[in-house]
Amino acid sequence: MDPRLTEVSQMFERFKAAFIRKDFDSCANLLSQLKVLLTKFRSLPPLFENTPNSVNEVLLAREIYEHAVVLSVKIEDQDAFERDFFQLKPYYTDAGSSRLPPSQQEYLILGLNLLRLLVQNRIAEFHTELELLSATALENPCIKHAVELEQSFMEGAYNRVLSARQNAPHETYVYFMDLLAKTVRDEIAGCSEKAYDYLSINDARQMLLFSSDQELLEYIKE
């Protein structure tokens, strides 16, 4: 195996071990080093040069950027998510990647990006991304979950948005689901303030879909 490819592979194994340990500081440090090493591979986007190890290099780079996206969710860094997602996206969409086998993480990550756009209220971009997806992708549970959330959000069916957290297709979705739930609860609270002169604790808890009075009181305090 090419020495550079071996070096990247070994470092990536260290990254994955740190990720399993939830040592995210080490992950971030190793990821920075990995990204520098990847710049030496001319087989990667945007060049996609046909080198002796091109397929292995592109597959490895794709997996590294997929882990980078998931890491950004774990450390709750939306800016890092956006940067890493745009570095990853050519591996899914570029014509040069057509020789690669499909990634098992693709729909999971595309769904995460749709959720991010929804949380950030970037609805036009949300629909632009949807239009780029195949019919097969649109039937995937990860994509359908994001689409159904957007529809519920636009319809003002906030109870469906809040309850959807229980049906998240993957644990990584919980971060964005919680952010969306906060946005929805703020919206409900704002509307309730204008619509009611008085609400009991019980009514407010049910309206905001909190499971306990304590959660409601903490929200009110915040």
Q: Give me the pLDDT at residue 98, please.
A: 65
pTM over 0.85: yes
Average pLDDT estimate for 65-92: 97
* Token duo for residue 167: 């049906």
CA-CA-CA-CA torsion sign (10, 41, 92, 171): positive
Q: Hey, how many other C-beta atoms are within 10 angstroms of the C-beta on 124?
A: 9
Tokens of 157: 């069916």
**C-alpha pair distances (Å), 166 with each of 26, 65, 116, 142, 178:** 31, 28, 18, 14, 11
Flag whether pLDDT at 96 surpasses 70.
no
Mean pLDDT of 154-170: 87
| 152 Cβ neighbours under 8 A, 6+ residues apart | 158, 160, 161, 164
214/132 Cα distance (integer angstroms): 44
Q: What average pLDDT does this structure show over 84-91? A: 96
> What pLDDT is stored for residue 174 in this prediction?
93
Q: Which domains does the chain carry?
A: 1-97 (1.25.40.990), 102-221 (1.25.40.990)
Q: What is the mean pLDDT of the chain?
A: 92
| pLDDT for 36 | 97
pLDDT digits (tens, 9 = 90+) for 179-218: 998 888 888 888 888 999 999 999 999 888 888 999 999 9
> What does the alpha-carbon distance between residue 138 and residue 147 come to, in Å, rounded to a whole number?
9
Q: Residue 146: its pLDDT value, please?
A: 96
> Which single residue is written with the structure tokens 């945007």?
46
Q: Which helix (H) or strand (E) holds 26?
A: helix 24-38
Q: End-to-end CA distance of the chain, in Å?
A: 56
pLDDT in tens, 115-153: 999 999 899 999 999 999 999 999 999 999 999 999 998
DSSP 3-state of 211: coil
pLDDT score recorded for residue 95: 58
C-alpha–C-alpha distance, residues 50 and 183, integer Å: 47
- Residue 145 confidence (pLDDT): 95
Judged against a pLDDT cut of 80, whether residue 97 lies above it is answered with: no
